Chain A
Amino acid sequence: MSELQSKATDAIANGESLPTPLPTGKRDSNELSDNITDDSNRVSKYPRLDANPIQDDAFQSFKSRLIRQMNHTLPVDETKVFSYLTETRQEISRILKQSIVQKESHSVVMVGPRGSYKTFLVNHELKVLAKENGDQFITVRLSGLLHTEQTAINSIAAQLESELQRLNPDETLSKDESMDVSSGSLTEVFEKILRLLDTRKTHTLETSDTTSTISVIFIFDEIDTFAGPVRQTLLYNLFDMVEHALVPVCIIGSSTKLNISEFFEKRVKSRFSQRILYMPECKDLDTFAGAAKEMLTLTQPKDAEENRYITAWNALVEQYIKDEDSAFFEQIRNNYETFKSIPLLRNSFMPVIGPCETFEQAEQSLKTCDDMVSYTLNQFQGTLGASVQSLSELELAFLLAAVRTATKNKEETTNFNLTYVEYSDMITSLNARIPSTTNLNSNTNQIVENLVKLWDKDDIKNVWETLQELTLITDKGDVGLRESATAVFYASNYIFQSASTPFDLRLFNIHISLLELRRIVPKSSIFYPWTQL
């Protein structure tokens, strides 16, 4: 604890005024720019004290490598792919090699839930192939979350232009060519693209003067968003290109829909190769633990001397994964039995290694996994139960009154007026049981006042709004998040009945039941008896 913090804590305990904070100076732009550009002269208010600089560098190097591995930002030849994805990876690699090297046209759709490494595998294999065959293909990326059919055309044209420029920096598209590609219908656009690719030709191989055609790789995320009920023109043209184009085209789509082929129109389905790759999952706990181990086990860097921390760390990881009683294995098992998700395991592991400054801290952190537990507990603090536990007494009392009123109501709704009546009945009944000089026939001059305060209706309105903000109660007519910008636009022009109803008469639904409140409210609370009708 810093000296200032301890002083402040003492001051609070003694009821004194707090010490003045640090002088609030203005940082001038020169200082700020120094901070940004020159890392070695970084002006930080909290400089770290390194006990052993040499050891610290090695540890920092190890820590950076570990975090990069978890973030998949290591160089491609050092990036690990999980073993359980090997077959899928080989399949993708084969398809891409056939397209890029052997100049064949292919199409495949990868199907799997989010976070199953579909995009990661494709990107990884493309990076591997780019090392030796980088000038033999261009990549066009589309995403159903980012593009509509119309904007996809412009995006394809823009990406083509930039990729062709990358391959042939000396040859640039003329203004007419670049503006012309994206104009016209989808079919015309695709014809122009093919013509463009044909005429642009290609690259010159390094070992000879021969030229060969460029392969075009389309990576199509969320391909199912383009497989709507109306004409699937973009997909039709893309798959048609695979069938008939002279230029080798490879389309790799990805989707979360298991029955993606049923989404395609007949003409699209007939042009699609029907090749669907289902992403594998970890079938059992051993495989899952193996994947976790691979995520955390490091290889020594190729161009640097051996880092002893890496060796020690790998041994620790191996040890804790083999030991089923270890805290780390327990976390793996918990994740496997609930989410079965390597990305979520990675998220919870980041706070384990992130704050560590020495290897001993990292070792201890891995041994206890307290930070993983803390992260998981932190996620539960956003739930309704945690929100109820964070309420003040008045907020809790009013929520109880709302829930009681809604429970008594056939439609399970309530409004502010009814809730206030119930609240005032509750408090009146509560106060009748609390001894005070107003209740007792006392002749003494002493005043005993332990009654619970009954707040005014005007003041309670703030509490009602707080409950709304915490989404413990919501407007009965509330629709929620609209699916698209168009839906939002139409909704914004529509006046809802509830918007014109007086505040205290609007009907609300309650998102927590009396039974759940009975479990959450502590038995020592004075409002506990009210959790039952």
Chain B
Amino acid sequence: MNCISTTDHQCFPDPLHRAEAPIAHPISMSVVGREYQLRCLNSFLSPDPSLAVQTLLLQGAAGTGKTHTLKAWLDEHPEVPTAILRSTALVTWKPLLQAVARGVQAGLRKSNQSSSSSLPAPLDPLQVEDLAGLISQLTTLFTTYDCPQTFLLVLDDLDQLQDLDATILPMFLRLHELLPAGCPMRTVHIVRDAQFVGRYAPFQLPVVVFPRYTEEELLPALTGALATSTSDNTIDASFLKLLIQAFYSYTGSDIAALRDLALLKWPQYSKEVAGMDSGAPTAELYRRTRHLFVSPDDSLASESSNTTSSTNYELSDISKWLLIAAYFCSYSEARYDPSLFAHRQDMKHGRSPYGRRKAREINPTHLQPNTFQVERLLAIYQAIAPADGSSTGASASTSGSLRALLNEPLRHANVEVFQNIAELYQLKVLSTNNVNTGGNLDFLSPKIKWKVNVGWEIVLEVANSVQFDLRAYFSEVGG
């Protein structure tokens, strides 16, 4: 469905149903901090098509009030028929063209509803297969329907179109040249990326830039956003002030994030201060509710989960040991493998792998993983994984004799191990140097190099779950 989404993430249906949308907060309240931009809109747009520019660009980061301000201008000029399209919902250019045809037709039919003559039969927008089809349909629409005012076509978040290419905007810039002379359609493109606008600088289009809100502008803007998104208008201004002071550095000027935090914390806050005097000083309110403003608490994880407890990630024991072994392969150097993993004591003598005189400047686990051969993975796996199936990573016999070595039950590479490697590959926990194999990967090919695809924190949790002390091998890693 084509819809307009404001900074409130509230979906407005297409212009057929625009009349049912609630009237926004008074324009003077809802566009606080955007008075200059509204003034520019009044200069560049007009219900009279001869007074409106052909194309207007509105540029600004997400949550800066572009769509909101344009809506405020449209509310001030209800006589202007409009088609507002959300590009993120349209993915590629063909649905975009079809949506343009659909939106324009809907807007024109709406604006002509009161005319005495009956409306002509609607055209099928799905017949728009390409630009020529769109031009043909738009030509038919604007010659069939009466539209003395400006018809405003708004493409919201055009640069967020998933399959965007460099020819789409120029196409809309030149579209009017192939439409009938005097066609009243004008376009407004709402764009986030300044570099996208800069790419089309030679076209010398009028641009209105929406900067991020300052900290002072956030309170009235947030109040307006909450008022339009919720029916409950009783959120206290002092709460919002505390919220902004506490979390402005975390959220920046993102109105949507602040609004979400306000809606998350307001029920708890109102409960805490319920018994307090309404005229209590802000400091007292803060002291009572300080725990709410320490952390955002907006994680998707449940509050009861213990972050220090190990999680299984639904992996089998073999997979967990393979993952740990893969981490060693990617982050420790092969020349230290005998020292680290050899069961024979005499091979462990000698210089410690990290007994270097000079400490590393960069922790290697913070860098991208190195690739390794599958044989090395299997060798380290055999060295660290317990053979008796227990979850403990207890080392094997320490007698050091050859007989003991022969008697020692080792985990041999068998079909289960390879099944688990395949599982880890499917889960993208392990990856190869060739990403585009089309599913036909020969695991044993010497050309294939592997690497681990998870970070230190996850591997540490997995190691803790099998009681393997991973930190002992990576002494430089804190935390």
Contacts and interface: CB of A to CB of B under 8 A. Distances in A.
Interface of A: 1-2, 4-5, 8, 11-12, 15-18, 20-22, 24-37, 39, 42-46, 64, 67-68, 71, 73, 113-115, 119, 141, 143, 145-147, 151, 154-155, 158, 221, 256, 341, 343-344, 347, 350-351, 353-355, 374-375, 378-379, 381-384, 386-387, 390-395, 415, 417-418, 421, 455, 458-459, 462-463, 466, 469-471, 481-485, 487-489, 492, 494-497, 500-502, 504-505, 507
Nearest to B236: A17
Nearest 4 CB-CB pairings of A with B: A354-B43, A417-B366, A33-B114, A394-B249
Nearest to A31: B19
A392 B253 CA distance: 8
Contacts of B122: none
B19 A26 contact: yes
A71 B53 contact: yes
B174 A221 contact: yes
Contacts of A462: 250-251, 257
A350 B204 CA distance: 14
Nearest to B182: A73
Nearest to B479: A457
Interface stretch (B1-9, B129-137, B308-316, B335-343): B129-137
B220 A12 contact: yes
Contact of B59 (A43, A351, A382, A488): A382
Contacts, number: 289
A15 B237 contact: yes
B431 interface: yes
B75 interface: yes
Nearest to A339: B204
Interface string B222-247: 01000100000111111001000000
A49 B249 CA distance: 44
B39 to A, nearest CB: 5
A35 B250 contact: no
Interface in B100-156: 110-111, 113-115, 130-132, 135-136, 149
Contacts of B296: 459
Nearest to A485: B165
A489 B114 contact: no
B29 A21 contact: yes
Given A18-B237, A67-B51, A391-B252, A24 B165 contact: no
Interface residues of B, number: 117
Interface string B33-63: 0001001101110111111110000011110
B165 A355 contact: no
Contacts of A381: 209, 211
A471 B170 contact: no
Nearest to A502: B455
A463 B46 CA distance: 39
Contact of B212 (A24, A343, A390, A488): A390
Interface of B: 18-20, 22-23, 25-29, 36, 39-40, 42-44, 46-53, 59-62, 75-81, 92-93, 110-111, 113-115, 130-132, 135-136, 149, 163-167, 170-171, 173-175, 177-178, 192-197, 199, 202-209, 211-212, 214-215, 219-220, 223, 227, 233-238, 241, 248-254, 257, 282, 295-296, 299, 362-363, 365-369, 428, 431, 435-436, 453-456
B55 to A, nearest CB: 11
Nearest to A497: B435
A115 B237 contact: no
A394 B253 contact: no
A379 B43 CA distance: 16
A382 B199 CA distance: 13
Candidate in A25, A113, A458 with the most chain B CB atoms within 10 angstroms: A458
Contacts of A33: 110-111, 113-114
B165 A487 contact: yes
A495 B131 contact: no
Given A12-B219, A145-B171, A382-B59, A36 B178 contact: no
A37 B366 contact: no
B420 to A, nearest CB: 19
A488 B164 contact: yes
A63 to B, nearest CB: 9
Contacts of B206: 347, 350
Nearest to B206: A347
Contact of A489 (B53, B163, B236): B163
B165 A12 contact: no
Contacts of B18: 32
A347 B204 contact: yes
B150 to A, nearest CB: 11
A492 to B, nearest CB: 6
A392 B249 contact: yes
Contacts of A25: 22-23
Contact of A378 (B40, B79, B110): B40
B366 A45 contact: no
B223 A18 contact: yes
Given A36-B78, A145-B171, A481-B166, A351 B40 contact: yes
Contacts of A151: 130-132
A280 B236 CA distance: 63
A145 B170 contact: yes
B209 A71 contact: no
A73 B50 contact: yes
Contact of A42 (B79, B132, B135, B435): B79
Given A29-B19, A378-B40, A158 B132 contact: yes
21 contacts: A12-B220, A17-B237, A26-B20, A31-B19, A33-B110, A37-B111, A45-B26, A71-B52, A73-B49, A147-B131, A151-B130, A221-B174, A350-B206, A392-B249, A392-B253, A394-B252, A395-B252, A417-B366, A459-B295, A469-B192, A470-B61
B136 A158 contact: yes
Nearest to A16: B237
